Amino acid sequence: MKKVRIALLGLGNIGQGVWRILNTNRNEITMNCGYEIEVARVLVRDRNKIRGVQIPKEILTTDINDIFNDSGIKIVVELMGGTEPAREYMLGAMRRKKHVVTANKLVLATRGEELFKAADEEGVLFYYEASVGGGIPIIREINESLTANRIEKLVGIINGTTNYILTKMTHEGMDFNEALKEAQQKGYAEADPSSDVEGYDAVYKLAIMSSLSFGTKIDLSSIYREGIGNIKTVDIDYAKRFGYVIKLLAIGKETDNELELRVHPAMVPKTHPIANVNDSFNAIFVKGNAVGDLMLYGRGAGDLPTGSAVVGDIISILRNNVDLSNLSSQKNGTVTKKVRNASESSSEYYIRLDVKDRPGVLGEIAAVFGKHDVSIFSVSQDVKNKHNVSLVFITHEALEGNVAESIKEIGTLDRVNNLENIIRIENFN
**Residues marked as catalytic:** 205
> Smallest distance, Å, CB 17 to ligand NAP?
8
Q: Specify the residue, 189 or 236, whose C-beta has the smaller distance to ligand HSE.
A: 189
- Assess 206 for contact with ligand NAP (CB under 6 A): no
The C-alpha atoms of residue 198 and residue 166 are separated, in whole angstroms, by 13
- Assess 265 for contact with ligand NAP (CB under 6 A): no
Which secondary structure element, helix H or strand E, spans residue 147, and what is its range?
Answer: none
Residues 6+ apart with CB under 8 A from 252: 153, 154, 155, 206, 209, 210, 213, 214, 259, 260, 261
Question: 363 in helix, strand or coil?
Answer: helix
Task: Name which of ligand NAP, ligand HSE, none residue 274 binds, using a CB cut-off of 5 to 8 Å depending on partner kind.
Answer: none
- Assess 313 for contact with ligand HSE (CB under 6 A): no
Site residue total, ligand HSE (CB under 6 A): 11
Question: What secondary structure letter does DSSP report for 143?
Answer: I
CA 131, 232, 272: angle at the middle one, nearest 5? 60
Q: Please pick, from the candidates 90, 118, 274, 301, the single residue that binds ligand NAP as defined by CB under 6 A.
A: 301
- Assess 298 for contact with ligand NAP (CB under 6 A): no
Task: Name which of ligand NAP, ligand HSE, none residue 15 binds, using a CB cut-off of 5 to 8 Å depending on partner kind.
Answer: ligand NAP
Q: Specify the residue, 188 or 393, whose C-beta has the smaller distance to ligand NAP.
A: 188
CB 315 within 8 A of CB 32: yes
Distance of CA 125 to the CA centre of its chain: 23
Q: Please pick, from the candidates 78, 129, 141, 201, the single residue that binds ligand HSE as defined by CB under 6 A.
A: 201
CA 337, 338, 344: angle at the middle one, nearest 5? 150
Q: Please pick, from the candidates 35, 89, 188, 369, the single residue that binds ligand HSE as defined by CB under 6 A.
A: 188
Which secondary structure element, helix H or strand E, spans residue 282, and what is its range?
Answer: strand 281-288
For the chain, helix, strand, coil in percent to 5 are 40, 30, 30
- Assess 383 for contact with ligand NAP (CB under 6 A): no
- Assess 198 for contact with ligand HSE (CB under 6 A): no
> Smallest distance, Å, CB 201 to ligand HSE?
5
Query: Does residue 359 have a cis peptide bond before it, meaning omega lies within 30 degrees of 0?
Result: no
> Smallest distance, Å, CB 192 to ligand NAP?
10
- Assess 159 for contact with ligand HSE (CB under 6 A): yes
Task: Considering only the stretches 38-46, 118-126, 216-224, 358-366, report the one whose residues sit in contact with ligand NAP under the rule CB under 6 A.
Answer: 38-46
- Assess 122 for contact with ligand HSE (CB under 6 A): no
φ and ψ at residue 426, rounded to 5 degrees? -110, 110
The C-alpha atoms of residue 183 and residue 162 are separated, in whole angstroms, by 9
Task: Residue 324: count other Cβ atoms within 10 Å of its Cβ.
Answer: 9
- Assess 216 for contact with ligand HSE (CB under 6 A): no
Give the x-and-dash track for 235-264 against ligand HSE (CB under 6 A).
------------------------------
- Assess 46 for contact with ligand NAP (CB under 6 A): yes
The C-alpha atoms of residue 351 and residue 330 are separated, in whole angstroms, by 42
Binding site for ligand NAP (CB under 6 A): 10-15, 43-46, 49, 79-81, 85, 103-105, 130, 134, 187-188, 190-191, 301-302, 306
